[in-house]
Amino acid sequence: MKKFICTLAALALCGAAAFAQDVLGKWKMDDGSAIVEIYKKGDAFCGKIVWIAEPLGQDGKPLRDENNPDKALRSREVMGLNLLIDLKDKGNAEYGDGKIYDPGNGKTYNCSMKVEGDVLKVRGSLDKKGLIGRTMDWFRVK
């Protein structure tokens, strides 16, 4: 019986460690401007904006995706917008081969992410290898 309890305790600790590395959930951007909820869609991971610090434009109306290169998409609201697109689980709490959209400039970049406890390292880059780009720290919302 003692061996059984020790085994259960070990499994519980492993489960807690795995959960701490889970990318699913809500993450606040490093500048505090927005919260992105990461969810699973089939075999891919995506993320949408669920909170914005300043959700209204100067006209008092909800922010729109006005910098989108596709004129047909410029009227859509930024709230609810998918930023993270089709990232794949690479193992070891790393995700890649996806895209990240920046509504601030209307550009889409290659994207990879790595979970480090309650910090998500999000890298947007011009090249697929991630050599030319920048990394942002997003923080888990509890």
- Token code pair at residue 32: 């505090």
Which 3 state secondary structure label does DSSP give 12?
Answer: helix
Q: Tell me, what's the pLDDT at 21?
A: 60
Q: Which of 141, 142, 106 is nearest to 34 (CA)?
A: 141
pLDDT, position 128: 85
Of the listed ranges 20-24, 38-42, 102-106, 107-111, the least confidently predicted one is 20-24
Could you give the C-alpha distances from 47 to 58, 101, 129, in angstroms and in order? 26, 10, 21
Closest by Cα among 126, 65, 114, 51 to 87: 114
Domains, the chain: 23-140 (2.40.128.520)
Reported as type and span, the H/E element at residue 88 is strand 82-91
Residues in the chain: 142
Q: What is the mean pLDDT of the chain?
A: 88
